Amino acid sequence: MNKPGHAACVMNHKDKESVIKKEAIMQTDLIKARIRTNLAKGTLKFMANKSLLRNAALKIAADRARKSLREYEMKQGSKSEYLAAVEAQYVINLMNLGIRNLDRRFISKDYLKKVAETLGGGIWGESSRSRQAARKYREKYGIEPPGFCTVSPAQKCNLNCPGCYAASNARAQAFLPYEIVERLVKEMRDICGASFTVISGGEPFLWQDNGKDLFSLAEEFSDMFFLVYTNGTLLDDTTCQKLFELGNVTPAISIEGYEAETDRRRGKGMFQKILNNMNNLKKYGVGFGVSVTATKENFHLLLEDRFYEYWFDEVGATYMWMFHLMPIGRAKDTMDLALSPEDRVKLLSKWEEMLFKRGYFIGDFWNSGTASRGCLAYGRPNGYFYVDWNGNIMPCVFVPYYKDNLYDLYKQGKTIDEALMSDYFKRGRQWQTEYGYLSDPPGNFFAPCSIRDNHKSFREKILTPDIKPEDENARQALEDPEYYQKMAKFDDDIHKLTESWWKEKLARKPEITEQTKQA
């Protein structure tokens, strides 16, 4: 017969065993994480020094990227050779382009070594801090945390571009106090384990609050890496020197094409000013990329090899982000400028060609759904969410509807993870799961966007009456029958055009040419 308290003693003993086992696993993971961190840092620093051994190291790194991503895809992903190949090619292209720009002295050794400390210890090295935070998040909520957030600290901009998703201009006054942005970034790091933050706008380099600015944020969070979307007009010599000294910021500079296209949308003389400021970045060896908005006006340029050769091979960009003009903000009145489904498919074909055959890093936020396993929004595991200058917490930069607000959240003593567990975000993640995220076979990632490619599902399965529009334009979009009809027709057409192509891609490996291997 058991003595009184025997069960409790047994339970306590089991609890202790469980705790000891968890601590042992955690300690093992920490050791592995430190090994990965040191390897990542060492690899990046080694590649910063040109030597006979570097080419061999690059080949080994490329082979390991292909192998590790394929293993993940086969064990935890959608078991797709095509998806694994796309993901690996992005890693390889970015690595090769970075090294090439290092050899051209467009990126300095010191800057790359500083990048190694942040990216190597965080994103690539999977630091012990990140892994511990992710584990706690997973234990609490049952899912992995998002990988990053995008925050626009200010709506103000020194330009006034038609079709701007943010409806930004010099008169816009809305901005987030530094302490709010600081708290958000800190919570993303400490609660979600994030080592990466995207800063958008408005123009981020105009943001100031009580003597604090973007540089203050990057300096305070020196263990994180920041990608900043900017129009590039404020990247003077002094600014570029600061970016070099920080070493954890890369600017993605907005362009529209060449001089005629850029000046038409952004203002006369802007193109030459941007090129001059890119020379400032190259002078100090700060790695940068370009960001292009695809519209009916510049679509023909984006189908030409020459466009990518110019920005990557001549100007020296390390990466390119591509956005498709969305009917959001003032673009509500310019839907005719948006790409048609047929345009989208042509651009999809060009993206794949540039990725595999030319070795360029081009992140197309719609056509590159294969690289992200579909829609990244709604705080999805390893995905992201967006906070605007009013503190509205939204699923995505291009989904202008929200339930929670950062000011209200913090007044209630809550943290950002609690907003990510809202019914709104959960419905978005449920739709992603139903669509085929990590399924076998996966959903059609050539049409991954919830609001653009699957607008009917967005209205019926995700949006509910309690969800609020970000601004008046977003409200009118919900109430305009013609808007809904055009969006729904786009959905139908893009799926019809890509469905068979997508299934064909899943059935075979993409072509990786000898030119890509030697890029």
Which stretches of the chain score pLDDT less than 50?
1-11, 19, 21-37, 39, 125, 329-331, 519
When divided into structural domains, the chain yields a total of 1
Residue type present at position 71: E
What CATH number is given to the structural domain containing 202? 3.20.20.70
CB 78 within 8 A of CB 72: no
For 493, other C-beta atoms within 10 Å of its C-beta total: 16
Q: What is the pLDDT at residue 26?
A: 42
**Which pLDDT tens digit goes with each residue over 433-481?**
999 887 878 899 999 999 999 999 999 999 999 999 999 889 988 888 8
pLDDT (0 to 100) of residue 509: 61
Q: Is residue 343 part of a domain?
A: yes
pLDDT tens per residue, range 52-67: 677 777 788 788 888 8
- Identify whether 458 is part of a domain: yes
Q: Kindly state whether residue 8 falls inside one of the protein's structural domains.
A: no
Residue 182, domain extent: 128-507
Residue 304 lies in a domain: yes
| Residue 2 maps to a domain | no
- What the block records as the tokens of 311 is 């920005």
- 11 in any annotated domain: no
- Residue 6 in any domain: the answer is no
Q: Burial-class residue 357 by CB neighbours within 10 Å (0-12, 13-18, 19+).
A: middle
Residue 55, H or E segment:
helix 54-75
Q: What is the pLDDT of residue 42?
A: 56
Q: Which of 258, 195, 202 is nearest to 227 (CA)?
A: 195
Assess if residue 72 is contained within a domain: no
SS (H, E, C) 172-190: CCCECCHHHHHHHHHHHHH
**What gap in Å lies between CA 470 and CA 328, rounded to an integer?**
10
